[in-house]
Chain A
Amino acid sequence: MIEAVRLSKHYGRTKAVDELSFTVRPGRVTGFLGPNGAGKSTTMRMILGLDTPTGGDVRIDGQHYAQLKRPLTKVGALLDAKWVHPNRSARSHLKWLAASNSIPSSRVGEVLEIVGLSEVAHKNAGGFSLGMSQRLGIAGALLGDPEVLLFDEPVNGLDPEGILWIRQFMHRLADEGRTVFVSSHLLSEMSQTAQDLIVIGKGQLIAQTSTEQFIADATQDTVRVRSPHAAKLREILAAHATVTDDSVSGSLVVQGISAQQIGELAAENQVVLHELSPQRGSLEEAFMQLTRESVEYQAH
């Protein structure tokens, strides 16, 4: 269980994390979702005691990370797969990590086996592909068989096979009763990985709910309507719903009333329809809608 209370981190005038409060429960995969620059990595660094919060507090099972006796046996983290000396072998990297927390060195071979790196354990980590580095990072996180796991954008840059592997892996960890906290800037990715979501934008909490609930709330259904009398139809529909023009296809996108109602309205007013199709809102669109206000770097 991870608990953040009014957690803040300011860099000069930038409020990277702004009074963020949330709880991450055990036995589930909790997604930490937010656009680039939302403060996900900063929050994770504060959870792990690498960065000191400007304000507020974050604890793991009631303790600060720095108070943990053998932290790797309680919390495993993969913040950046590149935090490895390039001229050190994978095995040596895990060996010193294990030694630092009095973890038996036999465990090094075990975790290498789990992530499938046994064959290349003697090779220098600098020569690893992104996928292999990511696996090495996960091996490091698993070393102490911890109850709490943190992953910062673990699938970034991975191929579909690697993504699937990590996704299944996280589910397994959560099924074993562990607390799994994983960040991403893609809702579509999170919708397949996480059961719970903590959504942030510009350092502030936007939502903390189950993934299912979040998607249901966020995606609004729309109806696409095409008509030779578009102008007239828009006028009629505008009284009942929100109508936007889709300039690409020349159709109207109607939000707020059902396809059935639109059809009836059109018939009443004798407007010919060429298309009347209900649309499911896409996850990414919904997410962008929600976080639009808080997107740090707007593309112009």
Chain B
Amino acid sequence: MTLLAVERIKLFSTRSPYWCSALAIVMGIGLTAIFAAATDGPVPLGLTQIGSSQLAIAVVLVMAAIAVTTEYRFNTIRSTFLAVPNRTSALVAKTVVVAFIAGLLGEIIAFGSWGVAKVISPSSDLAINTSAEWRHVAGVGLVYAIGAVIAVAIGILVRQTAGAVAILLVWQMLAESLIGIIPKAGVKIQAWLPFINANHFLSMGSDSPEMGGTGVDFKLSEWGSLGYFAGVAVALLVVALVVAKRRDA
């Protein structure tokens, strides 16, 4: 509990998390506003979460990675390990705090996007009724939280901001969808890529236009995909923790 408080003080006593949060909210909700305004006729629910699940998530991943890499950059990680020699608990506490904030941001952006679409296009049927619809909107927070764990793990492993950010952005925004271009094998591989699975969890079925992995032959259910995504995140974190424990600070 103390360690969570420590990480909270650390995170909120610098400016970058505020900036990243603001940027993520503006980008996520802003994109929905643009889509909603440009759409003639009713806005489908599936359109409201493109900003949150495809764009703002990148900013949140960057924020999560930066929370770690700045500690290495300014050597405060050494101060941290002096104060808390048990590196695993120190880093797990940081992961929990960052993931929690990412999750909270995800919910704010998801429901904010939904709300702004409702305001811009009051006649659209944006009611959230079915479990698929709930997953599509409220699930964004879960995806952000788990994505943040991946970002923290990458940050611990790489230790420098530029490298970690590049890896995360290329991976999340480009690499996984590019693999789909590989003839035949591409979509089979995609079924096991973590961020594609995260999108699968958010999808409402074939009618949702934001499905990045169209045609992907998923072997898992939507919740199964989320579990898989979380599994990858935890595995990466464990590797990062082991490495951090072994190497010189």
Contact = CB atoms under 8 A, between A and B. Distances in A.
Contact of A100 (B13, B84, B246, B249): B84
B75 A100 contact: no
Interface residues of B, number: 26
Given A50-B248, A79-B78, A85-B74, A66 B85 contact: yes
B164 to A, nearest CB: 17
B6 A51 contact: no
Given A51-B249, A100-B3, A84 B74 contact: yes
B221 interface: no
Interface string B77-93: 01111111110000000
A206 interface: no
Interface residues of A, number: 33
Interface stretch (A90-98, A168-176, A186-194): A90-98
B177 interface: no
Best-surrounded residue of B6, B14, B79, B86 (most CB of chain A within 10 A): B79
A102 interface: yes
Contact of A88 (B5, B14, B75, B248): B14
Interface string A76-118: 0101101111111100110111011110000000000000000
A115 to B, nearest CB: 16
Contact of B14 (A65, A85, A95): A85
A84 B79 contact: yes
B86 A66 contact: yes
B6 A92 contact: no
Contact of A68 (B5, B76, B85): B85
A92 B9 contact: yes
A49 B78 contact: no
Contacts of B246: 52
B76 to A, nearest CB: 5
A95 to B, nearest CB: 6
B206 interface: no
Closest 10 CB pairs of A and B: A92-B13, A100-B83, A66-B85, A51-B248, A96-B9, A83-B75, A50-B249, A100-B6, A87-B14, A99-B6
25 contacts: A45-B249, A50-B81, A50-B248, A50-B249, A71-B82, A71-B83, A71-B85, A72-B82, A72-B83, A77-B82, A83-B74, A83-B76, A83-B78, A85-B13, A85-B76, A86-B74, A87-B14, A88-B10, A95-B9, A100-B2, A100-B80, A100-B83, A100-B84, A102-B2, A140-B79
